[in-house]
Amino acid sequence: MIAKLTKEYICKGGKPILSEVDTDIFSIKYFHSCMNCDFCKDDCCKEGVICDKNDVKNILKNEYYIKEKIQIDAKSFFKEVFKDDDFPSGKATYIPKRGNACIFINKKGRGCLLHSILLSKHIDYHLLKPILCCLFPVSFDKGLLCPAPEFNKKEFACLKGDKSLYDGSRDEVKYYFGEGLVRELDKLRDSIIK
């Protein structure tokens, strides 16, 4: 069910702007303890990710934080830039894959190397990690807060667990959209899930 929000909620950076929520984010459960998982093999990172064109420029501008662990070939970025009004610049691109997963996947362990490198240097990962990665397992599309597309696949490895998509991403939603949105979503969740 799609529920209208009482107002529009604007993301840090100006976009996306949310006006609706797919209430499936309250009922779909998933395995929340990502780094304790021993069965998914980072399935959510297999396709790379769409991000604002300026996010990639920011990553490349700050590559000195990550170059010791991730060799970035700037030419591999910006292969395709397309119009997308959900992003602040109005243009999006793909973080490319290297082999069979995102360029930032930790091939010698688990998870996102970009995330772990920034944490190890005491740098807020939100500064460089794409918003769709941070918000996962929720996503956005044309003003709608919704389940990430991976959850439409019946075979997706994370589709087992005890935490809702919203509860697992609540802190990230709050970070990007503010306390007002999570208060409204909490009330909506509580009215639906009894």
Question: pLDDT tens digits for the chain (194 residues)?
Answer: 999 999 999 999 999 999 999 999 999 987 665 655 565 666 667 777 899 988 888 888 888 777 777 777 766 766 788 999 999 999 999 887 778 888 888 877 777 888 888 888 898 999 889 999 999 999 999 999 999 988 776 666 677 778 899 999 999 999 999 999 999 999 999 999 86
List, in sequence order, the alpha helices (H) in 86-157: 113-120, 131-135
User: What type of residue is 24?
Assistant: D
- Per-residue confidence (pLDDT) for residue 162, from 0 to 100: 81
- Per-residue confidence (pLDDT) for residue 5, from 0 to 100: 98
Task: Give the pair of three-digit tokens for residue 152.
Answer: 């439409």
- Per-residue confidence (pLDDT) for residue 64, from 0 to 100: 79
CA atoms of 164 and 179, how far apart (whole Å): 19
- Per-residue confidence (pLDDT) for residue 106, from 0 to 100: 80
- Per-residue confidence (pLDDT) for residue 111, from 0 to 100: 78
Q: Which residues on adjacent β-strands are paired with residue 147?
A: 138
- Per-residue confidence (pLDDT) for residue 59, from 0 to 100: 85
- Per-residue confidence (pLDDT) for residue 87, from 0 to 100: 95
| Total Cβ atoms within 10 A of residue 161 | 15
Task: Give the pair of three-digit tokens for residue 112.
Answer: 């996102």
CA atoms of 17 and 166, how far apart (whole Å): 17
- Per-residue confidence (pLDDT) for residue 117, from 0 to 100: 87
CA atoms of 146 and 37, how far apart (whole Å): 23
Q: Which residues on adjacent β-strands are paired with residue 105?
A: 112
The count of domains in the chain is: 1
Query: What is the residue range of 100's domain?
Result: 2-192
Predicted TM-score (pTM) of this structure: 0.90
